[in-house]
Amino acid sequence: MRMRNKQRKTTILGWNAGSRCSMPTLIWSLVGFLLLLHFYSTLHKTDKVEETQLQMSHPSFQELQVVEEENIQIPPPRGRRSPRAAKRRPKKKTTLIDEFLDENSPIRHVFFPDRRSAVDPTKDTGNDSSYYFPGRMWLDTEGNPIQAHGGGIMYDPRSRMYYWYGEYKDGPTFIAPKGIARVDIIGVSCYSSKNLWTWRNEGIVLAAEEANETHDLHKSNVLERPKVIYNEKTGKYVMWMHIDDANYTKAAVGVAISDYPTGPFDYVFSKQPHGFESRDMTIFKDDDGMAYLVYSSEDNSELHIGPLTEDYLDVTPVMKKILVGQHREAPALFKHDETYYMITSGCTGWAPNEALAHAAESIMGPWETVGNPCIGGSKMFKLTTFFAQGTFVLPLAGLPASFIFMADRWNPADLRDSRYVWLPLIVGGPADWPLEYNFGFPSWSRVSIYWHRKWRLPSGWSDIKR
Ligand SMILES: *[C@@H]1O[C@H](CO)[C@@H](O)[C@H](O)[C@H]1NC(C)=O
Ligand SMILES: *[C@@H]1O[C@H](CO)[C@@H](O)[C@H](O)[C@H]1NC(C)=O
Ligand SMILES: *[C@@H]1O[C@H](CO)[C@@H](O)[C@H](O)[C@H]1NC(C)=O
């Protein structure tokens, strides 16, 4: 059970004021206080806790938290037998990341299994039905690989459907002037599902501009990380996305709007929010209907967060700088038990790196880093976010403290063939990193993302929701 920062701080001040007390008095006051606090929180949370324990003791829920190890062997250096290669001095030791980034690696299939193992929800796959296979190709109901990279999911209570929006990248990859692999903008795709496993292609809901070279959506530009939320007050679906030129110098956010979740969306405008550069970004809609924009700024060295206007079509002048100097990108925000959490990645281009989880009591901060959330796989899996980069965290309605962590396993040699790594994310247990304040008492829970070669949502999940 989480205890609030503020309560802790008050206590500490109280102890300082009473420092003339004898040691036993101090200790017994502390014990008494903790018991009271426990009693208080128990009173308030009994129902919730019982419900949570019920769910958490369910076998299929525990299955999600099994720690699976992976042991991927780095292949011997190639060309070793050739006399010329043997004479050459051995280069720096190859790492699994080098193998991952090498499109000719003999273990390529480990990271990018071929079409034969594709997840195809339209086929009778027997025991594998409903299972996610992180990294495998994933087909839509027409048998085509899902194209929704850097995406996010919106649940639409009106149609009782999940909509997955992402970058449609089914075009050739080439190298842009600054050496960055890219695919021309094709547009934002949308897929719909009732069970989060079988996805129907709803088409391109915001398309690139073919002719108008001055338009933000001209195919030569960059459109990344589209996210959609519904505005109850205006009845509109609002999309926010990262808009850039091929050299990533524009560094702006774009906004589009539609009457329907399946579009078409009308492009509204782009801007640098609060007058700052904005690259990787996300939006988050809170329970109270307030929505927020989070973006990487100042050369990706910090994140900025600020509320959107009531119609979600612009930012307000309010903005806070968070995780300053920490160089984080790919933010994905979620909320659990009145605490805000965020997963971010480091900044290493298309190459994978270590994810970190952050937590805050107020969405506007202060945000504290609580550690690397990745569990299982191997040391290298943990240091590379399972060879992927986060894009969104989806709450699982009806399953307390449970989310799906959605990540992209980028394939810079052929971006359209980037894969999806979806894994269960559970909030619970003490955080790993000691906190700067309150003498190391963790005031928020651990965020854990469990590696699984295959996994599925607890059976009956779709019945218990809502
Ligand atoms: C499916 O599971 C059953 C029971 O665990 C097992 O006997 C069977 O061999 C499995 N079938 C396949 C195709 O894996
Ligand atoms: C091209 O796009 C710009 C920017 O959106 C717009 O102002 C202009 O009217 C467009 N031109 C044409 C011919 O549509
Ligand atoms: C991008 O950079 C290249 C070379 O640095 C330059 O030729 C090109 O005009 C730039 N494009 C944009 C859109 O700024």
Full set of structural domains in the chain with CATH: 55-71+99-130+137-464 (2.115.10.20)
Ligand 2 center to 213 CA (angstroms) = 8
- 75-77-81 Cα angle (round to 5): 120
Work out which ligand 2 atom sits closest to the CA atom of 212: 1
Ligand 1 atom closest to 128 (CA):
14
Model pLDDT, residue 91: 61
pLDDT of 6 reads: 34
pLDDT-derived band of residue 3, with 50, 70 and 90 as boundaries? very low
Over range 391-411, report the average pLDDT: 94
Q: Is 86 left (phi over 0), alpha (psi -120 to 50) or beta?
A: alpha
- What is the pLDDT at residue 279? 97
The pLDDT value given to residue 298 = 95
Which residue has the CA at smallest separation from atom 2 of ligand 2? 215
- Whether residue 189 contacts residue 147, with contact meaning beta carbons closer than 8 Å, is answered with yes
What residue owns the CA closest to ligand 2's atom 11? 212
Rounded to the nearest angstrom, the distance between the alpha carbon of 413 and the centre of ligand 3 is 22
Query: pLDDT-derived band of residue 178, with 50, 70 and 90 as boundaries?
Result: confident
Is residue 358 over pLDDT 90?
Answer: yes
For the Cβ of 245 lying below 6 angstroms from any atom of ligand 3, the answer is yes
Q: Which atom of ligand 3 is nearest to the CA of 246?
A: 13
Instruction: Please give the model's pTM, rounded to 2 decimal places.
Output: 0.86
pLDDT band at 398 (very low <50, low <70, confident <90, very high): confident
Percent of the chain exceeding pLDDT 90 equals 70
Higher-pLDDT residue of 36, 285: 285
Q: Where residue 15 falls among pLDDT bands split at 50, 70, 90? A: very low
Confidence of residue 44 (pLDDT cuts 50, 70, 90): very low
- List the residue whose alpha carbon is closest to atom 12 of ligand 1: 127
Instruction: List the residue whose alpha carbon is closest to atom 3 of ligand 1.
Output: 127
Q: What's the chain's Rg over C-alpha atoms?
A: 24
Average pLDDT (320-337) is 96
Q: Is the pLDDT of residue 194 over 60?
A: yes
Minimum mean pLDDT range among 57-61, 211-215, 354-358, 433-437: 433-437
- Nearest ligand 3 atom to the CA of 220 is 13
The pLDDT tens digits for 144-162 are 999 999 999 999 999 999 9
Q: Nearest C-alpha to atom 6 of ligand 3 is from which residue? A: 177
Res. 295 pLDDT band, cuts 50 70 90: very high
pLDDT at residue 1, as a whole number: 36
pLDDT the model gives residue 29: 61
Q: Tell me which range, 18-32, 353-367, 436-450, is most confidently predicted by mean pLDDT.
A: 353-367
Q: Per-residue confidence at 246, pLDDT binned at 50, 70, 90?
A: very high
Predicted confidence (pLDDT) per residue in 47-96, tens digit: 454 455 546 666 777 888 899 999 998 888 765 545 555 555 556 678 89
Assign 17 a pLDDT band (cuts: 50, 70, 90): very low
Average pLDDT, the chain: 86
pLDDT score for 459: 77
Indicate if the pLDDT at residue 331 is higher than 60: yes
**Closest atom of ligand 1 to CA, residue 127:** 1
Identify the weakest region by mean pLDDT among 86-95, 188-197, 340-349: 86-95
Can you tell me the mean pLDDT for 329-350? 95
Distance 247 CA to ligand 3 centre (A): 6
Query: Using a 6 Å CB cutoff, which residues line ligand 1?
Result: 126-127
If one residue of 180, 243, 247 were mutated to test the ligand 3 pocket, choosing by the most ligand atoms within 8 A of its CB, it would be 247
Q: Which pLDDT belongs to residue 365?
A: 93
